[in-house]
Amino acid sequence: MVEPRVTEALGKPIVGPLDPYFFEVADATRELLRLVFGTRNETTLVIPGTGSSGMETAVANFVEPDSKFAVFANGYFCDRLSEMGARQGARVVRLEKPWGEVFAYEEAAEFVRREKPAVVAFVHAETSTGALQDIRAITKAAREVDALAIADTVTSLGALQVGVDEAGIDIAYSCSQKGLSAPPGLSPFTASPRAMERLKTRKTPMHHWYLDLKLLRDYYDGRKYHHTVSTPLFYALHESLRLIQEEGLQNRFDRHLRNHLALVRGLETLGLEMHVAEGHRIPNVNTPRVPGGVEDVKVRKRLLEKHGIEIAGGFGPLAGKIFRIGLMGPLANESSVSLFLDAFRDAIRN
């Protein structure tokens, strides 16, 4: 869901990719993204595509063919990262965990000391499971072997603390449609000076043209034509970031957490158990287990058809086992939680 101000922003005049007004909006958007990412990285920009384009930009630029790429694998999107690494011709090594569990520093450190990868990647908030990874557990381990750390913040950015600089993340990407609550189609991206230095010493040519960070920097900073940007999407993202700034980052994180806790309390009162252990849950993607004797497809169909509420089911090893309930942006409020719980009570009992 997006705020009316964001929808209105889509209707602003469309200008060309080199128009001074576009760069005014782009510069302001990049500065607001630095605030939300928690970074001073100069290379903070927007990749023209959905969250997966940010993921591919991270992998294509920083994971070289024949280099070792370590993926912390505990869900669907970690598999996508592995697949992209393999397609780059990297030697992909994985530390596996059941879907819904997270990695502690000791196990991350033991893995990277053994494998000595050039780059590691993990998903901060794994949308397929509802599990929230402690960022420092991985970045600290990665630093010990001088590996770059890529963080997928597609679901977390704008809804909960990422803190790129403080947490020691080298490369992070996100999407416009989740925690930032703008339309889909853009991927906020940031890379540290350390990562950009590493890019300068890349031994093999970059195979991708569209996602080449150096060319993208030439566009955003050098004002040199690269591609024809979708200005309406930029206007909408800029407006959604302005709304976040007006609310205040900490207020926004607190609001998501408060409503997540209320939702969990309500779900537990209805007799459901959460799939992810307390303390490791994503506030904006809630994953209760499907209770015995309840058919998840039937519940979701009734919710949609009778109450107009769409929630997702589990997939892969969690197919039919969990519900995935998004609670983010403008929807993370008390009345949505109580409206949802009433409808959900009806759907699981009928």
Ligand X SMILES: Cc1ncc(COP(=O)(O)O)c(C=O)c1O
Name the minimum Å distance from CB 103 to ligand X: 15
Q: How far apart are CA 150 and CA 124, in angstroms?
A: 10
List the x/- string, 11-50, binding to ligand X by CB under 6 A.
---------------------------------------x
* CB-nearer residue toward ligand X: 77 or 220: 77
List the x/- string, 292-311, binding to ligand X by CB under 6 A.
--------------------
* CB-nearer residue toward ligand X: 175 or 216: 175
Q: How far apart are CA 283 and CA 24, in angstroms?
A: 34
Q: Does 77 bind ligand X (CB under 6 A)?
A: yes
Q: How far apart are CA 248 and CA 318, in angstroms?
A: 35
Q: In this structure, how many other beta carbons lie within 10 angstroms of the beta carbon of residue 300? A: 18
Q: How far apart are CA 231 and CA 38, in angstroms?
A: 25
Q: In this structure, how many other beta carbons lie within 10 angstroms of the beta carbon of residue 174? A: 31
Q: Does 82 bind ligand X (CB under 6 A)?
A: no
* CB-nearer residue toward ligand X: 154 or 328: 154
Q: How far apart are CA 276 and CA 308, in angstroms?
A: 27
Indicate the angle between helix axes 213-220 and 51-62, nearest 10 degrees. 120
SS3 120: strand
Q: How many residues bind ligand X (CB under 6 A)?
A: 12
Q: Does 51 bind ligand X (CB under 6 A)?
A: yes
Cβ contacts of residue 295 below 8 Å, gap of 6+? none
One of 17, 18, 52, 258 touching ligand X (CB under 6 A)? 52
Q: Are 183 and 231 in contact (CB under 8 A)?
A: no
One of 134, 152, 239, 296 touching ligand X (CB under 6 A)? 152
* CB-nearer residue toward ligand X: 38 or 183: 183
One of 154, 211, 276, 299 touching ligand X (CB under 6 A)? 154
One of 29, 41, 88, 127 touching ligand X (CB under 6 A)? 127
Chain contacts with ligand X (rule: CB under 6 A): 50-52, 55, 77, 123, 127, 152, 154-155, 175, 184
